[in-house]
Chain A
Amino acid sequence: MPTYQADAIVLRRLDYGEADRILTLLTREHGKLSAIARGARKSQARAGALDLFGRSRMMLAKGHNLDVVAQVERRGDARHISGDMQRTAYACLVAEVVDKVLEDRHPVDDVFDLVVETLDRLNLPSRSSRADACWFLMRILDLLGYQPQLQDCAGCGSASPSPSTGEGGGASENRIWFSPLLGGLLCPRCGGHDQAGSALSLTAVKVLRVMQAGDAALYDRLRLTPELLDGVERALEDQLEYHLDRHLKSLDFLRSVRG
């Protein structure tokens, strides 16, 4: 059987037969692919490398239907993700998004490195997993060409949408409407016509702009409160779900345990 090598990360695993597992892998060389790991559920030696988010250098053998994991050499670990429910759930979000946006064996430039970088950050106990997951969402939108429009109005193109003031009053004041359908911020005139979306605080808009500019150092220094991250996460999630036309289960999960 012909074989090939790949740097791989386990995105999903599914029990198969007596003791096998079918793995969905993200590889640097070949993009996303499925492979079968025979005896994986009984193997102690390979259990860690073949767990969710496990990273390894693999040798794969071409198979009839599925390629077969022939050798695994572990690279890196996810020990601080393991046993931390929130970190695990955000790592699942990364895996879920990547699994849904990529087609089999169509590598997209930089996605592998982005996933490695994000999992490494999630594995650092000192960092905010939620902020790192939001950063990932913005980057993946960017790599896919779905970056939200955060400068001019996404409806009419008028410059720098400002918050609606006056008439609406209350909650709508000092907020800017974000429309996933139109792919960005709306001016007060356009905002009323679009039901889908959410109202963002001015601060959330500023945070999104820092993220879009790719200024990681500045982003790391921002004081991101849970309320602020609620808005940022929601806008990025809406935007991604609109393009995927799918719901992200990991985010529902996080909301259900956050209570």
Chain B
Amino acid sequence: MAEIPASLARVMEELGRLPGIGPKTAQRLSFYLLRTPRDSVERLAAALIEVKARIRFCADCFFIAEAERCTICLSGRRDRTLLCVVEEPLDVLAIERTGEYHGIYHVLQGALSPIDGIGPNELRVAELLARLRREPVSEVILATDPDMEGEATAAYLAQQVGGLGMKTSRLAHGLPVGGELEYADELTLARAFSGRRLFQ
């Protein structure tokens, strides 16, 4: 059998590390890149290097930012008494697309996952509680995914936030139980926001 040249094998190996990409897909993508004109591969490489150099996580809310703070945190038009807690930056984008929400966010960067050993210390929970102590938030909307791990995370946060004396609410059902926020359609998500209920 013909040997795969080392430089090509390296590309396959690196692509194969990406989430959701198995060895077959890595192989297909690598051969696609080989056939692609040099300048477009260079554009891709430059874009990857630039995004890594420029994008970081907002120091306050952990959404993506090109500066110390993200555009949402820096905006003068957001309602700072409303804070929405989500698992991932993609969830912020999904909620922003509804156009229904004008408060600020906090991105946990994951959900509690006992089976993977992800506890509160592996998420941005301490940062959330510190923020709530210093910012004039009156309601915390827990918008973690409506699946087992997202619900456990919401329950944990409700208990932690409850001690600080502000309202906590959870998105209304109508979101598919067991599903993900990111994949909910805009109308469903907008309704889930307007119909949110207080946490008991």
Contact surface of A with B, Cβ cutoff 8 Å: 12, 15-20, 41-44, 47-54, 65, 78, 81-85, 88-89, 91-93, 95-96, 249-250, 252-254, 256-257
Contact = CB atoms under 8 A, between A and B. Distances in A.
Interface string B148-183: 110110111001000000000000000011111011
Report, nearest first, the 10 A-B pairs whose CB atoms are least far apart.
A51-B178, A47-B178, A249-B117, A92-B114, A44-B176, A253-B114, A47-B179, A52-B148, A88-B152, A47-B176
B121 A256 contact: yes
A93 B152 contact: no
Nearest to B199: A83
B115 A15 contact: no
- Counting chain B CB atoms within 10 Å of each CB, the highest count among A12, A44, A78 belongs to A44
Given A51-B177, A52-B147, A253-B117, A85 B183 contact: no
Interface residues of B, number: 30
Contacts of B155: 83-85
Contact of B119 (A15, A81, A256): A256
Contacts of B19: 15
A61 to B, nearest CB: 18
Contacts of B112: 85, 253
Nearest to A78: B148
A250 B120 contact: no
B119 A257 contact: yes
5 contacts: A41-B180, A83-B152, A96-B115, A253-B117, A256-B121
Contacts of B42: none
B116 interface: yes
Contacts of A78: 148
Contacts, number: 90
Interface string B16-41: 00011110000000000000000000
Contacts of B149: 52, 88
B151 A48 contact: no
B190 to A, nearest CB: 16
A83 B159 CA distance: 12
Contact of B154 (A52, A83, A89): A83
Given A249-B117, A250-B115, A257-B120, 17 more contacts: A17-B20, A42-B183, A47-B147, A47-B177, A48-B178, A49-B178, A52-B148, A53-B148, A82-B152, A83-B154, A83-B155, A88-B114, A88-B149, A89-B114, A89-B152, A254-B114, A257-B156
A189 to B, nearest CB: 38
Contact of B117 (A17, A19, A252): A252
B115 A95 contact: yes
A93 B154 CA distance: 20
